Amino acid sequence: MAEELAESLLSSETQLVPSFQGSQGRAYLFNSVVNVGCGPAEERVLLTGLHAVADIYCENCKTTLGWKYEHAFESSQKYKEGKYIIELAHMIKDNGWD
């Protein structure tokens, strides 16, 4: 993630859920993010099944950061709908979280 957006990507109400897998390794699931744009949704087969996801990107530098879960086809995965995955490779550790 671009350094200038390290503090502005997550809102104060954001909840962090660790232990997710992105395409480039470890990732986090967030309830909400700010300063990101969203591409068109497409169906992808992920480790947990078929999902409709949309890539998310930094509004400033246009770097792809992860994706937004638009729809989960498996009932056990419905809790992800409307949430965001950001890959650790695109994050800067700033407040002591892993």
Q: Does some domain include residue 31?
A: yes
What's the mean pLDDT in 52-67? 92
Q: Which domain holds residue 52?
A: 3-90
CA distances (Å), 11 to each of 8, 15, 33, 36, 96, in order?
Answer: 7, 9, 6, 12, 16
Q: Tell me, what CATH number does 33's domain have?
A: 2.170.150.20
Cα–Cα distance for residue pair 61/46, rounded to 1 Å? 26
* Residue type at 30 in one-letter notation: F
Q: Does some domain include residue 95?
A: no
Cα–Cα distance for residue pair 63/36, rounded to 1 Å? 10
Q: Does some domain include residue 32?
A: yes
7-59 tens-digit pLDDT = 455 554 555 555 666 666 678 888 888 889 999 999 999 888 999 999 999 99
Rounded to the nearest 10 degrees, how much is the dihedral formed by the CA atoms of 61, 65, 70, 76?
-170
- Report pTM: 0.74
Cα–Cα distance for residue pair 85/21, rounded to 1 Å? 9
Q: Does some domain include residue 97?
A: no
Q: How many domains does the chain have?
A: 1
Q: Does some domain include residue 96?
A: no
pLDDT value of position 28: 83
User: Other CB atoms closer than 10 Å to residue 2's CB: what's the count?
Assistant: 17
